Amino acid sequence: MSTDQSPAPETSVPTCYRHPGRETYVRCTRCDRYICPECMRDAAVGHQCVECVAEGNRGVRRAVPRTPLGARGPASAVPVVTYTLIGVCVAAYLAELASWRVVWEFMMLGRAVLPNGEVGGVAEGEWYRLFTAMFMHDRGGDFAITHILFNMWALWAVGRSLEQVLGRWRYIVLYVLSGLGGSVLLYLVGAPQVSAVGASGAIFGLFGAYFVIGRRLNVPVGPIVFLLVLNLVLTFSVDGISWEGHIGGLAVGAALAAVFAYTPEARRRLFHIAAPLLTFALLAALVVVRTADLSPAT
């Protein structure tokens, strides 16, 4: 009787496809290749290799980070709009220093005789004065350079935070419409020949917005309340300050900020676009009415 003494056939031990020297019996659930512990990545079922995980991530749409009020981008983004506004105001001030003509050509004015003998003002079709005045400042008089210095400091101190939480387009809309609100109120109730310059209307709008948004986000608003009250006292106690510009800017800024801050997330996009458009339409209508009132009867 004899027995078969031939050896059993050799079987190969599986190894990791990325590390051939490492034995493993675990396969990637996606590509079915063997993977070692270093190459394993947890999946919904089993494990996947690093290449399959990377391939899967390419098709995943990452959520864009947003602020509590819906603005895109991280809170650490550079406040480009604030710095640009400061730059425009400083450039306008330098132009004013270079020529008085810049002042009387672009200051806020209802209707009056200009130094060149011509009649000018918003009522004469120079509607741009409603906007250009918010970037200009006194080049002399009682306030001199302190006018632009304070406004630029306030813009730097308050504007950066608002730009970060509102985002750039909401912030620039808030600034421009607040400044416009100040010009329009002066145009409505002020004497036609009264002129004004300054970013104060827009700055007061930022003050009002900071208070409203601060309350919404539960951040301390004591400092802005103190600054706002102090400036309101100065507004009504110091000659030469346009209270119309300050109050108009404050009202528009606070109203827009309330919409930006308290609109439910589901309707945020609609309201955040509609509110500035309706505000602009209302201000434009008031300008048309006042212009008709100041126009000579035909």
Element (H, E) at 205: helix 200-217
Beta bridge partners of 108: 196
CA 235 to chain centroid: 27
The pair of three-digit structure tokens given for residue 39, joined into one six-digit string: 């190459």
Q: CA-CA distance, 249 to 131, in Å (whole number)? A: 12
Which residues on adjacent β-strands are paired with residue 15? 23
| Alpha carbons within 13 A on the beta-carbon side of 20 | 1
Structure tokens that stand for 164 in this block: 């970060």
Q: Contact, 217 vs 165, CB < 8 A? A: yes
Residue for token pair 């494990």: 47
CA nearest 197: which of 148, 137, 255? 137
DSSP 120: E
- Residues serving a catalytic function are 200, 246
Nearest to 187 by CA among 248, 253, 132: 248
